[in-house]
A and B are shown apart, each in its own frame.
Chain A
C-alpha cells in the first residue's frame, strides 16, 4: 500500500499543505484500522484466540477444583512448566518497555512506529505471566495474602524472600506499563474521538481521551511526564527480570546459584521480547497496511537488537558453563554436564540452536530483508527462549545432590492446555487492542516526521 506519508516525508520546509497532508496521511492510515471494518483475517484469528482462552478457563477451573496435582509437578520438580511460563512471559514483556522507554531516552526516533504495539505486548505478556505464580501457589484464592494488609491472623509478608520481591517488582511493572501505555495513548484516543462518526465511539473514545485538546501547555507537561516515565521505566525494567532471576540466584541450588543470572536474564528477556515484537509486527503491518509506517528500516533495527542480545545470551551460556567447570565445584559441574549430556540434553540443544545459532543470520542484510525468513527465525527464538527457562528450571531440579531423589518431569495435558491457553489470553487481548485502540502512536510519528519542522526558520 503506497501512501502519501513517505512521499511527502522529504519535502519539508516549504508548503504547509504538504506537511498537513503528511499528518493527515498518518491519521488516516492508523485510524482506518479502528474506524473502518477490520479485515477478514481478524475473525478467524480472534476465534482461535478465544478458543485457546476457553481452554485456559477449562484448565484453570479444573486446577481450582482439584489442585496442582493435575500438572506434572512432583516432589522433585516443585517448579516446572508453571514457573517456566511465568519467566517466559515476563521476559516477552521486556522488549516493549525497552522500546518505549530505553530507546526513547536514547532518542531513537524509529521507535515511535512500533512502541505502542510493543507496549501493548508488554502489558498482555505481563498479564499472562501474572497468572502462573498465582496458580502455582496451590491455593490461588489466597494470593491476596501476598499484599501487605492488616488481618485477623496478624500475619505479614516475609519481605526478605525473593518471591515477595517478585510480587512487588511484577506489580510495579504492570502498573507502570499500563499507565505509560495509557498516557501515551491519550492524544491518539483523542484523534479517534474526533474522527469517529458514530455516537458510541465518540462517547467512549471521548471519555478515554479525558478531553485532550492538544494544548501546548498540556503538551509541555505531558512531554515532561513522558520523559520521567521513560526514565523511571528504564531502571524498572532492568530490575524486574533481575528480581525474577533472584528467585533462582538466591537459592542454594546448583545451576541456579550464580551471580551471572540477573544480567543474563535481562539480556534474554530483551532478546525474546524483540523476537516476539517481530513475530507480531511482521504479519500485522501486512494485514493492517502499515508497511510505510513500520518500514524495512524498523525491521533492520529490530533484527540488529535481536542478534546483539542473542549473542549476549550465547556468551552467557558459555560463561556459565566455563564458571561451572572452573569453580571446581562438583555439584555445579555435574549440573551443567547433566544439562548437556543428561536426560534433558534434547532441551538444551533446542535452546542453544534456537537462541545462539538462529539469530546469527541477522548479521546479513539479505536475510533481514526476507521477511518470511525473519518471521520463522523469530518463531524459533521464541521457542528457544521458552526452552531456556525450561532447561534452567527443570533440568537443575531433576538431578540434585541425592541420586535417590532424581526424577524426570513429564508434562500432563493440563500443562499443555495452560500454556496454550496463555497464548489464547495474549492473542485475545492483543487482537482486541488492534481493533479498538490506536496501534501506532500517531502523535509521536507526526512529531518525528520531517513535516513537523515545516515552516521553521532553522530548516
Chain B
C-alpha cells in the first residue's frame, strides 16, 4: 500500500487570486482556475482502516472533517466523536402534535362546529376517535422523521466540492474516504497531508472549488423556468379566485352532471313527442283513477240530492279524537285569520290593522254570523272551496280533516252561545 500524495493539476497557492483574474478565461487551462482550496480527500482501504484513521484525525484535534462511505460503517460514530442526533426528540414533538391535532380536528369538526348526532350517542366519545388520532400521530411522526432528517443533513444539496474529484464517485460504490476541510482551524496543507498518510491513506488528493463566479451561481435559465412554472401554477388559483369574487349569469360548469340533467320532461314544459306538444299527460276522458271515484256526495261535497246536508255525513265517524284533530287543524289553518276562539281576531287582521290597513275576517261564532246559520254541507263546502276572499283549503287539508275542522267550529259556536241552563251543574256563571 504505497501512499501517493497528489496535488491537483492547477497548483496555485490557496485562497487567493480568484477575484482578480476571473475575466481571463484563456489564461487558465482546464477548469477555469482552481484556486480556492476546499480541503483534502484521503482514501482508505478497509472499513477498519477508515475507523482507525478517523480516530487519529479526531485525536489530532480536527473538527471540520467527515468520513464518506458507500454504506454506514459501524463504529465510525464513536471514532469521529459524532454526538447522538436529537432527531428522536424532534420526532416525539411531531408525534405529539399529530396526536393532539388529530384529537382536536375530530373534536372541533364533529363535536363542536357541527355536533354530529350518530344514533343518539354522545357527540364526543374518545374510543371512536382513537383510530384516527393513532394514524395522525404516526403520520406526523413520519413526516417529521423524513423531513427532519434531510434538513439536519442539509440535503438536498446537489453540489459539493468533493463531487469535482473523479475519485469521489467511488464513494457510492466501494470507496472509503476521509475529507478534511480547509476551514478547520488546525488545517495546514502539508501537515494535514502527512497526518492522513500516516493514518494509512492509500491516496490523498487536494480538492479545490471552482473559482469562476458563474460556476457558483444558478444559471439564469433555471430561474426563468422556475418563475414561469410558479406563474403557471398560480393560474388555476387565480381563476378560482376570480370566479369567487365576481358575479356571473352563466350556469355552472358541470364536469359531472350528477343527475342534474336527465333525459326527462318536467311538468308544464313543452315536449314535442306528444301530439299536443305538452309534457303533462291529462286524465284520460271517461276514466277515473282507482280510489278517486268519490261517489259519496255527502262526505266529499256536503250534498244530498243537490241540497246542503244538515247532519254530519255517515262516512265521518265522530269521537273525541276527531274533535281534538279538528282543534289542531283549525289552529294551524284557520286561527291565523279567524282567531283561536273563532271571533275573527286572528293575528293577520290585527297586523294589517296595526299597519293602517283593513282586513276583515269573519266572526264564526257570534249568534248572528253567517257560519252559524250555514248548514253543515255548506260550511264544509266553504272550508273546501272558499267564500268571498277566503281561498279554499281542499288542496291542503284532506277531506276527513275538513270535517274535523267543521266539528271543532261547531263546538266553538256551541260553547260560546251556551245558556246558563245548558252548563253542567257547578259551572254556571253566578
User: Quick one: closest B residue to A243, CB to CB?
Assistant: B131
A191-B173, A239-B135 given; A452·B71 CB < 8 A: yes
> Which residues of A lie under 8 Å from residue B49 when comparing CB positions?
16, 455
CB 8 Å contact bits of A415-451 with B (1 = contact, 0 = none)? 0000000000000000000000000001110110000
Kindly state whether residue B365 has any CB partner on chain A within 8 Å: no
Kindly state whether residue A165 has any CB partner on chain B within 8 Å: yes
Q: How far is the CA of A240 from the CA of B67 in the complex (A)?
A: 40
A160-B118, A215-B68 given; A452·B76 CB < 8 A: no
A215 & B138 in contact (Cβ 8 Å cutoff)? no
User: Quick one: closest A residue to B256, CB to CB?
Assistant: A141
A216 & B76 in contact (Cβ 8 Å cutoff)? yes
User: Quick one: closest B residue to A161, CB to CB?
Assistant: B118
Which of A219-227, A290-298, A328-336 binds B? A219-227
Kindly state whether residue B18 has any CB partner on chain A within 8 Å: no
B148 & A225 in contact (Cβ 8 Å cutoff)? yes
Kindly state whether residue B346 has any CB partner on chain A within 8 Å: no
User: Quick one: closest B residue to A20, CB to CB?
Assistant: B174
Kindly state whether residue B40 has any CB partner on chain A within 8 Å: no
A187 & B172 in contact (Cβ 8 Å cutoff)? yes
In the complex, which of the residues B87, B142, B143, B256 has the most CB atoms of chain A within 10 Å of its own CB atom?
A: B142
A165 & B132 in contact (Cβ 8 Å cutoff)? yes
Q: Which of A168-183 contact B (CB under 8 A)?
A: 168-169, 171-172, 175-176, 179-180, 183
Q: How far is the CA of A213 from the CA of B153 in the complex (A)?
A: 11
A202 to chain B, nearest CB (A): 11
Which of B159-167, B317-325, B385-393 binds A? B159-167
A164 & B114 in contact (Cβ 8 Å cutoff)? no
The B contact surface, by secondary structure, is helix
Kindly state whether residue A283 has any CB partner on chain B within 8 Å: no
User: Quick one: closest B residue to A444, CB to CB?
Assistant: B71
A183-B149, A214-B171, A239-B135 given; A224·B160 CB < 8 A: no
Kindly state whether residue A148 has any CB partner on chain B within 8 Å: yes
Q: How far is the CA of A159 from the CA of B143 in the complex (A)?
A: 22
Kindly state whether residue B425 has any CB partner on chain A within 8 Å: no
How many B residues touch the partner, as a band?
A: 35 or more
> Which residues of A lie under 8 Å from residue B121 when comparing CB positions?
160
Q: Which of A5-49 contact B (CB under 8 A)?
A: 16-17, 19-21, 23-24, 27
Kindly state whether residue A236 has any CB partner on chain B within 8 Å: yes
Q: How far is the CA of A447 from the CA of B174 in the complex (A)?
A: 11
User: Quick one: closest A residue to B136, CB to CB?
Assistant: A168
B93 to chain A, nearest CB (A): 13
B236 to chain A, nearest CB (A): 15
B142 & A232 in contact (Cβ 8 Å cutoff)? yes
- Which of B80, B88, B132 makes the CB contact (< 8 A) with A164? B132
> Which residues of B lie under 8 Å from residue A285 when comparing CB positions?
none
Return the 4 tightest CB-CB contacts between A and B, nearest first: A455-B48, A455-B46, A16-B45, A210-B156
Interface residues of B (CB under 8 A from A): 45-52, 54, 66-77, 80, 82, 84-85, 87-88, 91, 105-106, 109-110, 113-114, 116, 118, 121, 125, 128-129, 131-132, 134-136, 138-139, 141-143, 145-146, 148-150, 152-153, 155-160, 162-163, 168-174, 179, 255-256, 258
Additional A-B contacts beyond A141-B256, A159-B110, A444-B71 (19; CB < 8 A):
A20-B174, A24-B173, A168-B135, A172-B135, A172-B142, A195-B173, A210-B156, A211-B155, A214-B172, A216-B66, A216-B72, A225-B149, A228-B91, A239-B131, A239-B135, A243-B135, A452-B47, A456-B46, A459-B48
